[in-house]
Amino acid sequence: MSMDVAPRLDTDVLLDDPQTRIVVCCGSGGVGKTTTAAALGVRAAERGRKVVVLTIDPARRLAQSMGIDALDNIPRRVEGIGGGNGGELHAMMLDMKRTFDEFVEAHADPERARAILANPFYQSLSAGFAGTQEYMAMEKLGQLRARDEWDLIVVDTPPSRSALDFLDAPKRLGSFLDGKFIKVLMAPAKVGGKAGMKFLNVGVSMMTGTVSKVLGGQLMRDVQTFAAAMDTMFGGFRTRAEATYRLLQAPGTAFLVVAAPERDALREAAYFVERLAADQMPLAGLVLNRVHGSGAEQLSAERALAAAEILILASDPADPADPDGPDDQDDPADPEDALANAAEGSDPAKNGAAAENLADGGFVDPPSGNAQARNPSAVDPDVSPTSADSSAERLAAGLLRLHAERMQVLGREQRTHDRFTALHPEVPVAQVAALPGDVHDLAGLRAIGERLAVPPERANRVAG
Amino acid sequence: MSRLHVVSGKGGTGKTTVAAALALALAADGRRTLLVEVEGRQGIAQLFETGPLPYEERKIATAPGGGEVHALAIDPEFALLDYLHMFYKLGSAGRALKKLGAIDFATTIAPGLRDVLLTGKACEAVRRKGKDGRFVYDSVVMDAPPTGRITRFLNVNHEVAGLARTGPIHNQAQAVMRVLKSPQTAVHMVTLLEEMPVQETADGIAELRADGLPTGGVIINMVRPAILDHEAVEVVANGQRTAVAKALSRAGLGGARRGGMAERLVDPLLEQAREHAERVALERAQRAELTGLGVPLHELELLTDGIDLAGLYRLAADLRKQWPE
Ligand SMILES: Nc1ncnc2c1ncn2[C@@H]1O[C@H](COP(=O)(O)OP(=O)(O)OP(=O)(O)O)[C@@H](O)[C@H]1O
Ligand SMILES: Nc1ncnc2c1ncn2[C@@H]1O[C@H](COP(=O)(O)OP(=O)(O)OP(=O)(O)O)[C@@H](O)[C@H]1O
Ligand SMILES: [Mg+2]
Ligand SMILES: [Mg+2]
């Protein structure tokens, strides 16, 4: 199988480039968008840029550690940013409802604004309406950009199952605001109650009647008042949505698609890559987050499990030598050469050739008690099992089982990654290792930032 | 005994998978369940390896012991037309509304109305009786919206009853609320043993309780076995290194002397073990957190090869063993 090798995404080059003004982190739910956005913010600030990060629904501890756990829609300077390069990090957490309210206050006269904010229909709409969060994130981005106080804005996107939602929401909102239905709803209220009805043809007035009957008269009135009050803002909404959309297409913007090395997340990432291309939005690359590695890749899962099995049998006091075992086994292919090669090789963590050799060596589970006899060249002469070693054997078996599990994960991740690369060989990729714990402080964010910048050992590996 | 099982949880934790496994588990021994999808993603069809489900109830699986799982992907648009028809006998007017964009408006833009339709349809299935006077479905399992939206989703009828203060919509909304707030309903949460989903689960349960909605159990999904803990790692790191290298060597993994293959495996293997132990410790803390919630806990293992139909039946069997009769 021929394998494409994706170009390597260098986030430092992206962050250091003064032309880069906006970085948008997109991806499906839970893949690490917020973490990546925050980590890029820290990294860019420590490399000397004046950055603001707009986060959406960050984990509580992460928000606390950045000092942005108060939902007040104001960017706050994050303490503890080092680097000594004169950089600054400001961060904020999006308050969707407040952004919506502020929008209303900014675009309607005070009396109208009050009427809108008090309207029950608005109250349920502004909190729950499909795409509001995405729209408000765009709105906030537009505001931050207009203030021109930062030379880099890093934007997180709302948790949604599809990264496409972020791009689709403003259009959906636009089509709602332009829709015929809302105009029909509004018509009577706009031209002054009943008198206005004559402007509507009979069909439509019948329809309004039906709607009113279905929704209940009083709800209908609320909707009408709302629609009328919002009317003055419709133009503003649309203009803003379009302006922000254009901002996203501008050369200073870079999209990063974040994905976990899992089938679903990478499938979403592939859709998103295609969509960005169709919309002429600049894609910087894919961040493959939470990738697993191993310092002992030369030891395959199968071999590790086989070896663990041997140790468990050997350490089992009820079945010390398993004397029948060896007779049941077929004579294994001779693994000597492969093992000898591997043992001779240099640092196993870096020696890919020896690893391949070993993996291809056709290791066969040698039965317990007989391992030494079968692999004389691989075994130290001074090693001989005693009962005191049985706890060491159990520990070693545990280490091997863990390793086998890790290697299985690696294999799966590599396969899903390869599938993406085959589809989109042109997309640069940065791999970020999975940290053992959550990422909830600046140190954790720094660690992620380093991993985004430093090519991992596996980047050059060509899977076959 | 609850008959409507609402399965929520943080995004990606396995709501769809667990809902399907639960529907299978509850259908065992000749019973009949309905699995309802409300997010319009055809996740159930994918899971059961069939084509997209139409807007109608159909049998999609047989449970052990002759039970049946039926499935319904609720399409909000059809549900609204259904609903209008049910209450108003709207024929052509329904189509006209559609042309005008009213249906779009109601189903996408105003999530409240959309949710009314979805919950309404599920409650109707719960209450539906056959000619013999018995319930058509022994239980209904809903693959519900995620934790962040579940309370609002279930409470939407309460809101609607407030907005539409009289008329058939008001009455329908109240009838749905009566089912959702009764012990007939149980809202389950799926979580992983990670900080964010556990926090969301705790918040979600608190919210449900505050609103008087009946909580069910927590299903801890994708549980991985704990192979070594910190103690074991420390033992190896402090003093047993040589013994472990020798053991690896005895297992045929090369030389245990300095520079030998077995000896060189010890460090990277220990590093992995340390990471594993850290995870085990974190998971223990999360489990303690969940125990403190005072709801029944269930566990499903991580199937390392992903979920296929066989895997789904395995999870169902597991769940059945743990589920209260
Ligand atoms: N490389 C990593 N190693 C370890 N943990 C990570 C890594 N990246 C992210 N996490 C953890 O994964 C969880 C989810 O990350 P995050 O909140 O950034 O995802 P998200 O894509 O923003 O999710 P949502 O879609 O819910 O907004 C967090 O607990 C975070 O600490
Ligand atoms: N016990 C398990 N073992 C292995 N994989 C699992 C398990 N449970 C779920 N998965 C996998 O995890 C992924 C997410 O599961 P699922 O789609 O059920 O989650 P969800 O909560 O419904 O997600 P969403 O929020 O996107 O609707 C799927 O790929 C599924 O196959
Ligand atoms: Mg997030
Ligand atoms: Mg789902």
Instruction: Kindly list the domain boundaries of chain B, sorted by start residue.
Output: 4-222+302-322, 225-294
Residue given tokens 């329809």 in the structure block? A207
Return the residue of B nearest to A309 by Cα. B251
* Chain A residues inside the 8 Å CB shell of B268: 294-296, 348-349
Tell me the average pLDDT across B263-290. 93
**Domain-by-domain residue ranges, chain A?**
11-180+234-294+421-458, 301-407
Q: Which range, A136-140, A376-380, B102-106, B211-215, has the best average confidence (pLDDT)?
A: B211-215
* Chain B residues inside the 8 Å CB shell of A165: none
Query: What confidence category does residue B87 fall into, taking pLDDT thresholds of 50, 70 and 90?
Result: low
Q: Which of B195, B251, B267 sits opposite A311 (nearest CB)?
A: B251
Q: Where are the beta strands (DSSP E) in chain B?
A: 4-9, 32-37, 58-63, 67-73, 139-143, 185-191, 215-223, 297-301
What is the reported pLDDT for A72?
73
In the predicted model, what is the mean pLDDT of chain B? 88
- In chain B, which among 186-215 make CB contacts under 8 A with chain A? 194-196, 199
| Best mutation site among A24, A26, A28, A35 for ligand 1 pocket (most ligand atoms within 8 Å of CB) | A35
pLDDT exceeds cutoff 80 at B100: no
Tell me the average pLDDT across B180-196. 95
Tokens standing for B199? 């926090």
Q: Cβ A374–B88 below 8 Å, yes or no?
A: no
Query: What confidence category does residue B164 fall into, taking pLDDT thresholds of 50, 70 and 90?
Result: low
Q: Which of B194, B240, B275 sits opposite A392 (nearest CB)?
A: B240
Q: Does the beta carbon of B102 lie under 8 angstroms from any beta carbon of chain A?
A: yes
- Ligand 2 center from residue B14 Cα (angstroms): 4
Would you put residue A234 in left (φ > 0), alpha (ψ -120 to 50) or beta?
alpha
| Best mutation site among B6, B8, B16 for ligand 2 pocket (most ligand atoms within 8 Å of CB) | B16
**Spatial separation of the C-alpha atoms in residues A185 and A187, rounded to whole Å:** 6
pLDDT exceeds cutoff 60 at B129: yes
Query: What confidence category does residue B103 fall into, taking pLDDT thresholds of 50, 70 and 90?
Result: low
Query: What confidence category does residue B157 fall into, taking pLDDT thresholds of 50, 70 and 90?
Result: confident
What is the reported pLDDT for A351?
37
Query: What confidence category does residue B108 fall into, taking pLDDT thresholds of 50, 70 and 90?
Result: low
- Domain A11-180+234-294+421-458 matching CATH 3.40.350.10: the answer reads no
Q: Which of A176, A184, A436 sits opposite B279 (nearest CB)?
A: A436
Q: Cβ A405–B304 below 8 Å, yes or no?
A: yes
What is the reported pLDDT for B32?
97
What is the reported pLDDT for A370?
35
Ligand 2: residue whose CA is nearest its atom 25: B11
What is the reported pLDDT for A349?
38
Ligand 1: residue whose CA is nearest its atom 11: A438
Confidence (pTM): 0.78
Give the architecture-level CATH label for domain B4-222+302-322.
3-Layer(aba) Sandwich (3.40)
Tell me the average pLDDT across B283-292. 96
Return the residue of A nearest to B274 by Cα. A436
What is the reported pLDDT for A329?
40
Q: Cβ B254–A393 below 8 Å, yes or no?
A: no
How many interface pairs between A and B have CB atoms less than 8 angstroms apart? 225
ipTM, interface predicted TM-score of the complex: 0.80
Query: What confidence category does residue B325 fall into, taking pLDDT thresholds of 50, 70 and 90?
Result: confident
* Chain A residues inside the 8 Å CB shell of B195: 59, 61, 438, 440
The residues pairing with B218 across neighbouring beta strands, listed in sequence order, are B189, B297
HEC secondary structure over chain A? CCCCCCCECCHHHHHHCCCCCEEEEECCCCCCHHHHHHHHHHHHHHCCCEEEEEECCCCHHHHHHHCCCCCCCCCEECCCCCCCCCCEEEEEECCHHHHHHHHHHHHCCHHHHHHHHHCHHHHHHHHHCCCHHHHHHHHHHHHHHHHCCCCEEEEECCCCCCCHHHHHHHHHHHHHHHCHHHHHHHHHHHCCHHHHHHHCCHHHHHHHHHHHHHHCHHHHHHHHHHHHHHHHHHHHHHHHHHHHHHHHHCCCEEEEEEECCCHHHHHHHHHHHHHHHHCCCCEEEEEEEEECCCCCCCCCHHHHHHHHHHHHHHHCCCCCCCCCHHHHCCCCCCCHHHHHHHHHCCCCCCCHHHHHHHHHCCCCCCCCCCHHHHCHHHCCCCCCCCHHHHHHHHHHHHHHHHHHHHHHHHHHHHHHHHHHHHHCCCCCEEEEECCCCCCCCHHHHHHHHHHHHCCCHHHHCCCC
- Ligand 1 first shell, C-beta below 6 A: A 27, 29-35, 57, 59, 159, 289-290, 432, 434-435, 438-439, 448; B 195-196
Return the residue of A nearest to B10 by Cα. A30
- Ligand 4 center from residue B143 Cα (angstroms): 7
Cα distances (angstroms) measured from residue A37 to each of A59, A69, A210, A256, B42: 13, 16, 48, 9, 31
The torsion angles phi and psi of A40, rounded to 5 degrees, stand at -65, -40
Q: Does the beta carbon of A213 lie under 8 angstroms from any beta carbon of chain B?
A: yes
Q: Who's near A361: CB < 8 A, 6+ residues apart?
A: A335, A337, A338, A339, A341, A342
- In chain A, which among 230-289 make CB contacts under 8 A with chain B? 263
Q: Cβ B250–A179 below 8 Å, yes or no?
A: no
Among A148-162, A252-266, B52-66, B77-91, whose mean pLDDT is lowest? B77-91
Tens-binned pLDDT, residue by residue, of chain A (464 aa): 445 677 899 999 999 999 999 999 999 888 999 999 999 999 999 999 999 999 988 888 889 888 888 767 889 999 999 888 889 999 999 888 888 888 888 878 888 888 888 876 677 666 555 567 788 888 889 889 988 899 999 999 887 766 677 777 766 666 666 666 666 665 544 444 443 334 344 444 555 555 555 555 566 666 666 666 666 666 666 777 778 888 888 889 999 999 999 888 898 899 999 989 998 899 999 999 999 999 999 999 999 999 999 998 887 765 444 444 334 344 344 333 333 333 333 333 333 333 333 333 333 333 333 333 333 333 344 444 454 467 888 899 999 999 999 999 999 999 999 999 999 999 999 999 998 778 889 999 999 999 998 665 544 443 33
* Chain A residues inside the 8 Å CB shell of B111: 128-130
* Higher pLDDT among residues A66 and B25, named by residue: B25
Q: Cβ B101–A180 below 8 Å, yes or no?
A: yes
